[in-house]
Amino acid sequence: MSEKTPVAPASNFIRNIVEHDLEQGTYKHRHWASSPGDAQHHAAGEIDPAKIRTRFPPEPNGYLHIGHAKSICLNFGLARDFGGVCHMRFDDTNPEKEEQEYVDSIIDSVTWLGFDWNVFGESHLYFASNYFDFMYRAAEILIESGHAYVDQQTAEEMRINRGTLTEPGKNSPWRDRSAVENLALFREMRDGKHADGSMILRAKIDMASPNINLRDPAIYRIKHAHHHNTGDKWCIYPMYTFAHPLEDAYERVTHSLCTLEFEDQRPFYDWVLAKLAEAGLLAHPLPRQYEFSRLNLTYVVLSKRKLIELVEKQFVSGWDDPRLPTLVGARRRGYAPEGFRLFTDRIGISKTDSWIEYTILEDCMREVLNASAERRIAVLDPIKLVIDNYPEGQSEDCHAPNHPQKPELGHRVVPLSRELWIEREDFMEAPPKGYFRLFPGNMVRLRYGYVVKCTSFEKDADGNITTVHCEYLPDTKSGTPGADSVKVKGNIHWVSAAHAFAGEIRLYDRLFKEARPGEGDRNYLDDINPDSVKIITAQLEPSLQQARPEERFQFERHGYFVADSKDSQSGKPVFNRTVTLRDAWQK
């Protein structure tokens, strides 16, 4: 199921680290017991068949977006390229927030992107909430070894005593309790004897550390809340920064990749693992955290909070609105998984935050769709073209290749008759210099058909062109020996009025009109593009009637389109414009 990328991805600093580790044999002697566990558990297993282990660890509290796609392609891509495994791990340690709907959608999106966690005969789909017993044990071990204590300061006192960037913090009055006392209190916390916020378990590190994250960070808090997986078993929950290194170690992860905002947390990540390795709970080599810059894309927002707001305030039709940068939205828009993989390789990874131009993503989609999408004909803004010297009631077959570079994809029949639909912009009454399409007296080729000569035209009362008249040159049919006897400069597409059908097309554009929505003191909602979708009725060639939901096409001269997965009905497809052939915004 996981497809190979055709070209080796460009190197980057993380690939260099992995290559170096493999050369050094850093992870060669690791054991893996076929399921997550502590040092003892893994020691009983075989040598790990996976050369490296990475993980993609979303919190199931929202839909995945294009930023996540980068992380997915990176983590699963590394595992695939280096003979490793990438774990699909739900980071569901925070009660109340998570929902099954999100779990299902995340699984769907990662699979859709072409990745698979079934490797070496094992399914590496994990839920961090299954590790609560282990995390609790880790906390007790830290208490017993004098590395954690129960603090009873109020939240306000703790905030004040944490100090600032320029001033050291102050030790809590509870900092020097005995291990026995701390253990008893921690167990009372676990047993529900104390109220939310009344006490908290903290790591005992250094209140004067220049890194504020090392000033005795909280590791377990009381929260009387129902958890979707563990129900009411727990009323204390680990803090994210404590849970994450434990999850990585329990799963024997080697390279733990995260975004730059966690850089200041790395010393604590290493501290937790080192202390628990000293105590024998975890084995070396321990997981290592590496940070890369998160993806910022122009003309979209990639923050869960903002995406939720756009959906809830109905600026879009739902999570899968084709204008949203969610993966369900991108899929419905017609974006291809291969395009995301190409995009991730192309933009690479770095350690400095930057903005990536949305057009780079669109170019990747164009590249992939150009190679894979079959061609079809659609007239988006139709006017009539009447071939006056073609017999009424007659029709004939023209042959249109499905893909100009892939003859193996064959061709289809497009019928031609006396009355056709052509694009309004393919006729001009008084053309400027250099216009080679239809105007009175000029000749063009009807693509896959005949050369025609424009003879006259009709207008309605408002002066709009309604019908163009022409005559065809019978010896010039494409694919016949005489086809080239008459040379013309213009070549236009058409559909037969008697055979085409009218179909709904949604022309999507950018959701935001500003490159960096909400930059400065603007509200990002004020940057919404009011014209991000236009719905039209087009004239479509007959074969498109059979388009299956999610089937992608190039509509010749227009761009890439996909049959909408929600609103298409059998024999009555609705099409979404994925991307135009060229970038219309860059002029």
Residues making up the annotated binding site for ATP are 59-61, 65-71, 259, 294-295, 302-304
Task: Evaluate the CA torsion angle 450, 455, 460, 464 in order and state its sign.
Answer: positive
Q: Stretches 124-132, 217-225, 298-306, 528-536: which one binds ligand ATP (CB under 6 A)?
A: 298-306
User: Interacting stretch for ligand ATP, rule CB under 6 A, among 215-223, 302-310, 375-383, 549-557?
Assistant: 302-310
**Which stretch in 18-26, 81-89, 299-307, 498-506 sits in contact with ligand ATP by CB under 6 A?**
299-307
Query: Which residue carries 């990585």 as its tokens?
Result: 248
Site residues for ligand ATP, 58-97, by CB under 6 A, read 58-59, 67-68, 70-71
Comparing CB distances to ligand ATP, the nearer of 57 and 77 is: 57
Range 10-69, binding ligand ATP (CB under 6 A): 57-59, 67-68
Bridge partners (DSSP) of residue 550 are none
Whole-Å CA distances, 24 to 46, 49, 421: 20, 17, 67
Considering 59, 157, 181, 471, which one is annotated as catalytic?
59
Q: Is 326 in the site for ligand ATP (CB under 6 A)?
A: no
Closer of 37 and 57 to ligand ATP (Cβ):
57
Return the residue matching tokens 């023209």.
398
Let me know if 175 is a catalytic residue: no
The separation between the first and the last C-alpha atoms of the chain, rounded to the nearest angstrom, is 41
d(CA 115, CA 120): 14
Alpha-carbon gap, residue 359 to 298, rounded angstroms: 9
Q: Which residues contact 260 (CB under 8 A, 6 or more apart)?
A: 291, 292, 293, 294, 351, 353
Q: Are the beta carbons of 558 and 580 closer than 8 angstroms?
A: yes
Q: At closest approach, how far in Å is the CB of 303 from ligand ATP?
A: 4
Kindly write out the interface string for residues 204-243 of this chain, putting x where it contacts ligand ATP by CB under 6 A and - elsewhere: ----------------------------------------
* Cα 431 from Cα 446, distance rounded (Å): 19
Q: Which of 97, 162, 304, 384 is catalytic?
A: 304
Distance, in Å, from the CA atom of 561 to the CA atom of 541, rounded to the nearest integer, reads 14
DSSP 3-state of 374: strand
Can 557 be counted among the known catalytic residues?
no
Cα separation, 543 vs 547, whole angstroms: 8
HEC string of 281-348?
Answer: CCCCCCCEEEEECCCEECCCCCCHHHHHHHHHCCCCCCCCCCCCCEHHHHHHHCCCHHHHHHHHHHHC
**517 contributes a contact to ligand ATP by CB under 6 A:** no
Nearest distance from residue 351's CB to ligand ATP, in Å?
A: 13
Give the binding-site size for ligand ATP (rule: CB under 6 A). 14
Structure token digits, residue 38? 């502590």
User: What tokens were used for 444?
Assistant: 């063009």
How far apart CA 309 and CA 328 sit, in angstroms, is 17
H helix or E strand, kind and range, residue 137: helix 132-144
Cβ burial of 359 (10 Å; 0-12, 13-18, 19+) is middle
Minimum distance of ligand ATP from residue 81's CB (angstroms): 19
Smallest distance from ligand ATP to CB 248, Å: 11
Q: Which two tokens stand for residue 141?
A: 């071990």
Question: Closest separation between CB of residue 312 and ligand ATP, Å?
Answer: 15
**Options 119, 295, 327, 385; binder of ligand ATP; rule CB under 6 A:** 295
Pick between residue 71 and residue 265 the one whose CB is nearest to ligand ATP.
71
* Among 294, 346, 375, 513, the one annotated catalytic: 294
Q: Tell me whether residue 189 or residue 347 sits nearer to ligand ATP (CB atom).
A: 347
Q: Which residue is nearest to ligand ATP (CB)?
A: 67
Q: Which of 184, 279, 302, 483 binds ligand ATP (CB under 6 A)?
A: 302
Whose Cβ is closer to ligand ATP: residue 59's or residue 419's?
59
Q: Which is nearer to ligand ATP, 302 or 533 (CB)?
A: 302
Residue 144 to residues 141, 184, 276, 283, 497, Cα–Cα distance (Å) = 5, 11, 11, 19, 83
Q: Kindly tell me which of 100 and 570 has the beta carbon lying closer to ligand ATP.
A: 100
Cβ-based nearer residue to ligand ATP, 128 or 148: 128
C-beta closer to ligand ATP: residue 353 or 484? 353
Shortest Å distance, C-beta 321 to ligand ATP: 17
Task: Decide if 223 contacts 196 (C-beta within 8 A).
Answer: yes
Single out the segment in contact with ligand ATP by CB under 6 A; choices: 172-180, 277-285, 296-304, 439-447. Answer: 296-304
Q: Which residues sit in the known binding site for L-glutamine?
A: 91, 240
Work out how close the CB of 399 gets to ligand ATP at its nearest, in angstroms, rounded to a whole number: 47
Tell me how far, at minimum, the Cβ of 259 lies from ligand ATP, in Å.
4
| 556 tagged catalytic | no
Q: Of 11, 35, 154, 303, which one interacts with ligand ATP (CB under 6 A)?
A: 303
259 sits near ligand ATP (criterion: CB under 6 A): yes
Beta bridge partners of 469: 386, 456
CA–CA separation, 46 and 91 (whole Å): 27
Specify the DSSP class assigned to residue 60: S
Select 342 or 443, whichever has its Cβ closest to ligand ATP.
Answer: 342
Show binding-site residues: 59-61, 65-71, 91, 240, 259, 294-295, 302-304
| Contacts with 256 (C-beta within 8 Å, 6 or more apart), sequence order | 54, 55, 244, 245, 248, 269, 287, 288, 289, 290
| Position among 143, 258, 368, 492 found at the interface with ligand ATP (CB under 6 A) | 258
Q: Rounded to an integer, what distance in angstroms lies between the CA atom of residue 121 and that of residue 110?
A: 19
Q: How far is the CB of 258 from ligand ATP (least distance, A)?
A: 5
Residues in the chain: 587
Minimum Å distance from CB 98 to ligand ATP? 10
What are the residue numbers of the active site? 59, 294, 304
Binding stretches for ligand ATP (CB under 6 A): 57-59, 67-68, 70-71, 258-259, 294-295, 302-304
